[in-house]
Amino acid sequence: MPLPVVAIIGRPNVGKSTLVNRLAGVQEAIVYDTPGVTRDRTYKSAFWADRDYLVVDTGGLIFDDDTEFLPYIREQAMIALIEASAAVMVVDGQEGPTEADREIAQWLRQQHSVPVLLAVNKCESPEQGLIQAAQFWELGLGEPYPVSGIHGNGTGELLDELITHLPRNEDIDEPEEVRVAIVGRPNVGKSSLLNAFVGENRAIVSPVSGTTRDAIDMLVQREEQRYRLIDTAGIRRKKNVDYGPEFFGINRAFKAIRRADVVLLVIDAIDGVTEQDQKLAGRVEEDGRACVVVVNKWDAVEDKDSYTIYDYDRTIGSKLYFMEWSKRIYTSALTGQRVPKILDLVDQAVAEHRRRVSTSVVNEVLEEAVSWHTPPTTRQGRQGRIYYGTQVTARPPTFALFVNDPKLFGESYRRYIEGQFRQNLGFEGSPIRLLWRGKKMRDLERQSPNRATKV
Domain boundaries, the chain: 5-171, 177-352, 359-446
Higher-pLDDT residue of 61, 241:
61
Q: Render pLDDT for 19-63 as a digit per residue (tens, 0 to 9).
A: 998 998 865 543 334 444 334 467 788 899 888 898 988 877 877
The DSSP symbol for 83 reads: H
Residue 193 to residue 203: CA distance in whole angstroms: 10
Q: Render pLDDT for 169-195 as a digit per residue (tens, 0 to 9).
A: 777 766 678 999 998 888 888 888 888
Q: What would the mean pLDDT of 390-398 be, rounded to a whole number?
A: 93
Same fold, 5-171 and 359-446: no
Residue 160 to residue 8: CA distance in whole angstroms: 16
Q: Does domain 177-352 have CATH number 3.40.50.2300?
A: no
Q: Which of 362, 5, 386 is closest to 166 using CA atoms?
A: 5
Residue 153 to residue 129: CA distance in whole angstroms: 9
Higher-pLDDT residue of 80, 121:
121
Residue 85 to residue 56: CA distance in whole angstroms: 11
Is the bond preceding 340 in cis, omega lying within 30 degrees of 0? no
Fold of domain 5-171: Rossmann fold (3.40.50)
Q: Which of 322, 233, 332, 328 is closest to 283 using CA atoms?
A: 322
Strand duo 398-403 + 386-393: pairing = antiparallel
SS3 content of the chain, % helix, strand, coil (to 5): 40, 20, 40
Residue 427 to residue 432: CA distance in whole angstroms: 8
Residue 103: its H or E element = helix 99-109
Q: Give pLDDT, residue 39.
A: 40
Max mean pLDDT among 2-11, 57-66, 184-193, 281-290 falls in 281-290
CATH number of 359-446: 3.30.300.20
Q: Render pLDDT for 332-365 as a digit per residue (tens, 0 to 9).
A: 988 989 998 999 999 999 999 999 999 999 999 9
Q: Render pLDDT for 152-168 as a digit per residue (tens, 0 to 9).
A: 999 999 999 999 999 88
Q: Render pLDDT for 358-369 as a digit per residue (tens, 0 to 9).
A: 999 999 999 999
Q: What would the mean pLDDT of 370-379 be, rounded to a whole number?
A: 90
DSSP assignment of 137-174 equals GGGSSS-EEE--TTT-TTHHHHHHHHGGGS--GGG---
